[in-house]
Amino acid sequence: MGHYFSASPERSSRPHSIPVSLRGREVTVEVDAGVFSATRLDPGTRVLLEHVPDPAPTGILLDLGCGWGPIALAMAAASPQARVWAVDVNRRALELTAGNAQRLGLSNVQVATGEELLGAEPALAVDSLWSNPPIRVGKSVLHELLGVWLPRLAPGGRAHLVVHKNLGSDSLQRWIEQELQLPAERIASSKGYRVLRVHRASASGR
């Protein structure tokens, strides 16, 4: 794949623009080789955006594994008063997301690697986390990634993840509940994908 999981993709840059629909908003974005779903809106991401409720209106929102930015852009448009962090290991992906946000007038989007973000804000608490997580990195790496970020949900915070049933959505749900001790439930199923909701109890215990 030449792979988009690395900081610097091996594939030569070939930027081009594509039209996409992000939660009913028709936009044109720039995509590039060496970045996840480099020619279209990924089907899993589309399912997530079609079924997830609005993110928190304020606070910290996080797109984990942002690629060229569809989830971060949708979050930023839905919650203009919130601060949206788009996180990825791939530098080309971060540059694309930042550029797409700027072109769409979404000034509340910031980009960083996970290491950079946690280095700058070690006490970061996330109100809404949306992700089409990189399942193909392997179970151990995926668990390590989610083990870092899901426990950072703020009291009352929620995460929504989209995972294909054939790529372990049910086992991932069980792992989140058993290993991270966070409630997880399936809220939608479409085209083979499951949308999982993970939440942290509010200060009142609800």
> What's the rounded Cα separation, in Å, for the pair 32 and 190?
27
4 or 116: which leads in pLDDT? 116
Q: Mean of the pLDDT values across residues 43-56?
A: 97
Whether residue 31 has pLDDT greater than 50: yes
CATH number of domain containing 148: 3.40.50.150
In a domain, 90, yes or no: yes
Residue range 110-127, pLDDT digits in tens = 999 999 999 999 999 999
pTM of the predicted structure, to 2 decimals: 0.93
In a domain, 58, yes or no: yes
CB neighbour list of residue 199: distance below 8 Å, 6 or more residues apart: 153, 156, 157, 158, 159, 182, 183
In a domain, 116, yes or no: yes
Q: What is residue 173's predicted lDDT score, i.e. its pLDDT?
A: 96
In a domain, 135, yes or no: yes
In a domain, 63, yes or no: yes
Residue 101 lies in domain: 42-199
Q: Mean of the pLDDT values across residues 58-84?
A: 98
In a domain, 16, yes or no: no
In a domain, 7, yes or no: no
In a domain, 49, yes or no: yes
Per-position b or e across 25-45, b if 16+ CB within 10 A of its CB? eebebbbbbbbbbbeebbbbb
Number of domains in the chain: 1
Q: What is residue 1's predicted lDDT score, i.e. its pLDDT?
A: 40
